[in-house]
Amino acid sequence: MKSIALTSVALLCAVLIYSTMGFPAWGDSDSPASTHVSDYYIENAVNDTAVPNLVTAVLADYRGYDTLFETTVVLIAGLACFFLLRRFKPRQPQHRLYRHIDTGITLIIEQGGKEPTDSEEFVRIDSRWVPYDLVIQQASCLVIPFLQLFALYVIAHGHHSPGGGFQGGVIFGATIILMAIANDLRSAARRVSERLGALMASAGVLIYAGIGALCILLGGSFLDYSALSKLFAFTPVMARSHGILGVEIGVAVAVSAVMIWIYYNLASAGRHEEGL
Amino acid sequence: MTSQIPALIIVVPLLVSLVVSLAAWIRQSLCYAAALCAMLVAWISAILVMGRVINQGVITYRMAGWAPPWGISWHIDHFNAIILILIATVALINLIATRSTAAREFEDRPGVFYALYLLFVTGLMGIVITGDIFNLYVLLEIASLSGYALLGMGSGRAAVSSLSYLFIGTIGASLYLFGAGYLYIATGSLNMADIAAILPTIEQTGVIQVSFILCLIGLFMKMAFFPLHTWLPNAYTHAPNSSASLIAPLTTKVMIYVMIRIVLFVYQPEFAFAEMDIDRVIVWLAVIAILAGSMLAWKQERLKRMLAYIIVAEVGYMVGGFWLGNTAGMTGAVLHILNDAMMTLCLFLAAGAVISRVQTDAFGALQGVFTKMPFSMIAFVAGALSIIGVPPTCGFFSKWYLISGGMEAGHYAFVAALIISSLVNVLLFFRVIEIGYFEPFDSHHHKNGQTVREAPLDMLVPLLVTAGLLIVMGFYANTLVTWIVKPAISAATMGGL
Amino acid sequence: MEELAAVFVARYNYWGVIILMGIGLYAMIAKTNMVKKIIGMNIFQTAIILFYISTAAKYGASIPIIAHGHGAQGHGIRAADYMNPLPHVLMLTAIVVSVATLGVALALAVRVYWNYDSLEEDEILNQIKAGQLNRK
């Protein structure tokens, strides 16, 4: 089996490598790929959209329809993980573990026993609990605010530098995941609950698609942000620029929320009780 | 504003799917109603678009207002307008018919089910409507990913089968993307019409040929063309009923549409048929697919699994008919896309109705279902007759075109395979009907024998409507061909053939 | 010899991508562990992403961000000075798609593990043949 697989894959590679002989040389600036469509973007994007970062301009405007569905794909991944994994019935645990914060004594509460949920002195811990690492916890506490600020910078600065909704959204989602890894799933879920994550995921894509639909209502085509100039006091070019910012924010909201949502479902196998 | 009607086909299901996934966290009961409204709007706008295409010709919709090679544009002609109506019809009927099934199968998450349902439909419609080869890939993944989730939710082996579908489907989509990359290197464009204009002007190198083969293999994987069909039977057999009857009629047919679109409108017939010279090879593969699909169907002991193998054979019909390369064969293939989707929907809905009452689809348990569920089984028989190809059901007409195409091309093996497969289908369905009609209802086989009765009305009415449509489509087959299928094909084959 | 070197220099990145693709494909065919298959699938998709990105390169061109291009004043821009932005855009989409596929694949793998207590394909097949199914 393995030798057959190896031979067939090697044959396929050989054929494909042979086929690259017909390609233009790598880096050739006269190749069709670098001349036919791309020249228009490079020469006109700034005039058309007032966005110096060409990747952002093409991503969110010329090919904004692709990007809308790209965001939808992320949402589908979140929905699919929830759909396939989430188990609402809580597992009947034999016992739950609580740790007395001051003394470090662990209480084992058997099933049916009274749990010290309201107490300030006890904190619930995972069944496979390892002692908290002070360095990791404090370091993540220090880093997370700056990471979140950086995420917002990346989102807002997508017009002028590498960045945008996807990148910033992923960084933002990663901060919450970092919190979940450094502490536990419950402390992350106290900041961003499952419901909030799910609502934000859909709302983010809805912002994007809603801006597109608003353009139809204002008399343009779907996602034609220049139609927004009728609503606000922008020139059509600036309307495109601000429309791009609007959809990038939608993308960032959706992506960050979906990353958190997927992490919750995968890390806890759908129970949302104890994470990794 | 009327120029924006095509946009509604995609925008409304997309927006509503987002609203539904929000409503899933607020009020689950709103989800079904919202999904139903979205499908109705999409269905009506698809019909309006069809009317405009017939009256005014091809519609080009510029996304975000950018002209085609630079922006993404939609290209709607007779061919994709009719496929849009088909997708909307199947999804609408299935949505109504499987309401109670879905409520039972996904008791605590129907909201997310309807969100994925709408996204799947949006993905398929987007594949059909788009005029951009990369956008096609993105929407292909939208439809596929929501499909994996819907199929993987069943009990037992569903997750394993869905995962192996995911592996094969991802390789298929990636190979398509790879082929599109070769095309991009050779032409520098992603717009289908633009590529079609550039391709004849540039020197035909191995790059284009390899891109053609890569795209074709990728699509063959996605459409379950024998021998790349291995994912299909397991994925459809173990899937939840409410999603199987949505995905089984549509996925393979839409992939066949994509193959026809790419071959005729991007690479164009002169290149695909004359220069590549692989049409005879593919027709022979189709012959093998038809025979193998029918034989494998014969070995199955469960209704849904038998239907899944029949789909494998039907894919062979359409691929073979198209690659015969003459007008009759292509007409048959296009007409069969429409017919086969409706027949498969009818049979899967009937199987779903039986399963909802009998609790299983093993042949042994079907004794006496005709007396217990007469109307469901009438619809089942209508679907069966159509698959076999008995007039006046629609299956007869497409098969007629396919056979005459085979005769015209002198490909008698294909004609023979079609006839053999029809005979095998007779035996297949007669076996089911024999058990269900002639063998008496045996309460020993049914632990809950008393509860087997006719399917509920909300399941039965859509099923009977589908069965009725099979006959209506048979009566209007000629109208369909002259008004829609002929213009669709002649637009592409003006120069060649 | 020099000609061979010229061919190599003009194509080697495509060859690397194709070999990477072969590695991914081999992992998907030959490995029996589901997670290894998923990793192979990811390598395969990454190869295609790199393939597209290769097409964006131009000798002597800078990153596709117009310098001093604030506020709709893009006059005198020469296309040869900037890289092709389109493949980057396309692959941003493809990266996201491959991440989403990875998420769905892992979710399905978790479900498979619930049903069979294993991610090894041959063990799962044996269990299916034996007709047993331990549902947790």
- Does any domain span residue B12? no
**Could B15 and A21 be called an inter-chain contact, meaning their C-beta atoms sit closer than 8 Å?**
no
Shortest Cα–Cα distance, B301 to chain A (Å): 29
Which residues between 166 and 195 in chain B have a beta carbon less than 8 angstroms from any beta carbon of chain A? Answer: 182, 184-190
Considering only A86-90, B34-38, B97-101, which range has the smallest mean pLDDT?
Answer: A86-90
Q: How many cross-chain Cβ pairs, B to C, lie less than 8 Å apart?
A: 73
Shortest Cα–Cα distance, C45 to chain A (Å): 15
- Does any domain span residue B43? no
Res A275: pLDDT: 64
Tell me the mean pLDDT in the region B350-365: 84
**Separation of alpha carbons A175 and A195, rounded Å:** 18
- Does any domain span residue B475? yes
Res B417: pLDDT: 93
What H or E segment, with its residue span, contains residue B59? strand B59-62
**CA A34 to mean position of chain CA atoms:** 31
Q: Is the pLDDT of residue B251 over 70?
A: yes
Angle at C33 between CA C30 and CA C36, to 5 degrees: 80
Listed in order, strand segments (DSSP E) in B279-351 are none
Contact C87, A58 (CB under 8 A): no
Q: What is residue B446's DSSP assignment?
A: -
Q: Which of A233-242, B414-423, B474-483 has the highest mean pLDDT?
A: B414-423
Q: Is the pLDDT of residue B6 over 60?
A: yes
Per DSSP, helices labelled H in C1-136 are: 2-30, 34-55, 85-116, 121-130
Chain C residue numbers with beta carbons less than 8 Å from the beta carbon of B185 are 55
Positive or negative torsion for Cα C126, C34, A70, B19 = positive
Tell me the mean pLDDT in the region B143-159: 89
**Separation of alpha carbons B322 and B334, rounded Å:** 8
The count of domains in chain B is 1
Q: How many cross-chain Cβ pairs, A to B, lie less than 8 Å apart?
A: 165
- The three-state secondary structure class of B69 is coil
Residues of B261-271 as b/e, b for ≥16 C-beta within 10 angstroms?
A: bbbbbbbbbeb
Contact A76, C98 (CB under 8 A): no
Q: What is the mean pLDDT of chain A?
A: 86
Chain B residue numbers with beta carbons less than 8 Å from the beta carbon of A251 are none
Residue with tokens 């370091």: A139
Chain A residue numbers with beta carbons less than 8 Å from the beta carbon of C25 are 9, 12
Tell me the mean pLDDT in the region B319-327: 89
Domain boundaries, given as residue ranges, for chain A: 48-88+130-267
**Could B162 and C108 be called an inter-chain contact, meaning their C-beta atoms sit closer than 8 Å?**
yes
Phi and psi at residue A27, in whole multiples of 5°? 85, 5
Q: What is the mean pLDDT of chain B?
A: 88
Asked if residue B6 has a cis previous peptide bond (ω within 30° of 0), the answer is no
Res B103: pLDDT: 86
Provide the domain limits for residue B386. Answer: 280-497
Look at residues B252, B240, B226 and name the one whose alpha carbon lies nearest to residue B124. B252
Tell me the mean pLDDT in the region A139-151: 93
Q: What is the mean pLDDT of chain C?
A: 85
Going from the N-terminus, what domains does chain C have, and what CATH number goes with each? 2-59+82-130 (1.10.287.3510)
Interface test with C, best of A46, A75, A251, A259 (most C CBs within 10 A): A46
Non-local CB neighbours of B225 within 8 Å, separated by 6+ positions: B285, B286, B289, B315, B316, B319
- Does any domain span residue B490? yes
Tell me the mean pLDDT in the region B292-304: 90
**Could A166 and C54 be called an inter-chain contact, meaning their C-beta atoms sit closer than 8 Å?**
no
Res B495: pLDDT: 44
Res B100: pLDDT: 86
Q: Which residue of A has its CA nearest to B183?
A: A33
Res B274: pLDDT: 80
Residue B493 binned pLDDT confidence (cut-offs 50, 70, 90): low
Query: Structure tokens of A59?
Result: 């991503």
- The three-state secondary structure class of B478 is helix
Q: Which residue of A has its CA nearest to B106?
A: A83
Contact B384, B370 (CB under 8 A): no
- Which subunits sit against B, judged by 3+ Cβ pairs under 8 A? A, C
- The three-state secondary structure class of B224 is coil
Q: Quick check: B93 contacting C, CB < 8 Å?
A: no
Res C132: pLDDT: 53
**Separation of alpha carbons B128 and B82, rounded Å:** 10
A62-84: pLDDT as tens digits = 998 999 999 999 999 999 999 99
Res B229: pLDDT: 87
Q: Which residue has the higher pLDDT, A125 or A50?
A: A50
Look at residues A237, A240, A188, A235 and name the one whose alpha carbon lies nearest to residue A215. A240
Helix/strand/coil (H/E/C) assignment for every residue in chain A: CHHHHHHHHHHHHHHHHHHHHHCCCCCCCCCHHHHCCHHHHHHHHHHHHCCCEHHHHHHHHHCHHHHHHHHHHHHHHHHHHHHHHCCCCCCCCCEEEEEECCCCCEEEEECCCCCCCCCCCEEEECCCCCCCCHHHHHHHHHHHHHHHHHHHHHHHCCCCCCCCHHHHHHHHHHHHHHHHHHCCHHHHHHHCCHHHHHHHHHHHHHHHHHHHHHHHHCCCCCCCHHHHHHCCCCCHHHHHHHHHHHHHHHHHHHHHHHHHHHHHHHHCCCCCCCCC
Look at residues C127, A199, C114, A38 and name the one whose alpha carbon lies nearest to residue B70. A38
Query: Structure tokens of B477?
Result: 């087959």
Residue A123 binned pLDDT confidence (cut-offs 50, 70, 90): confident
Residue B497 binned pLDDT confidence (cut-offs 50, 70, 90): very low
Share of chain C above pLDDT 70, in %: 90
**Separation of alpha carbons A196 and C27, rounded Å:** 38
Q: Is the pLDDT of residue C122 over 90?
A: no
- Does any domain span residue B149? no
**Separation of alpha carbons A152 and A168, rounded Å:** 6
- Does any domain span residue B70? no
- Does any domain span residue B75? no
Chain A residue numbers with beta carbons less than 8 Å from the beta carbon of B34 are none
Q: Which residue of A has its CA nearest to C86?
A: A38
What type of residue is B345?
L
C66-108: pLDDT as tens digits = 876 555 455 677 878 888 899 999 999 999 999 999 999 999 9
Tell me the mean pLDDT in the region B40-69: 88
Look at residues B302, B350, B304 and name the one whose alpha carbon lies nearest to residue B98. B350
- Does any domain span residue B395? yes
Res B144: pLDDT: 93
Residue B443 binned pLDDT confidence (cut-offs 50, 70, 90): low
Share of chain B above pLDDT 90, in %: 45
Tell me the mean pLDDT in the region B435-442: 76
A169-199: pLDDT as tens digits = 999 999 999 998 888 888 888 888 989 999 9
Residue B446 binned pLDDT confidence (cut-offs 50, 70, 90): low
**Separation of alpha carbons C43 and C49, rounded Å:** 10
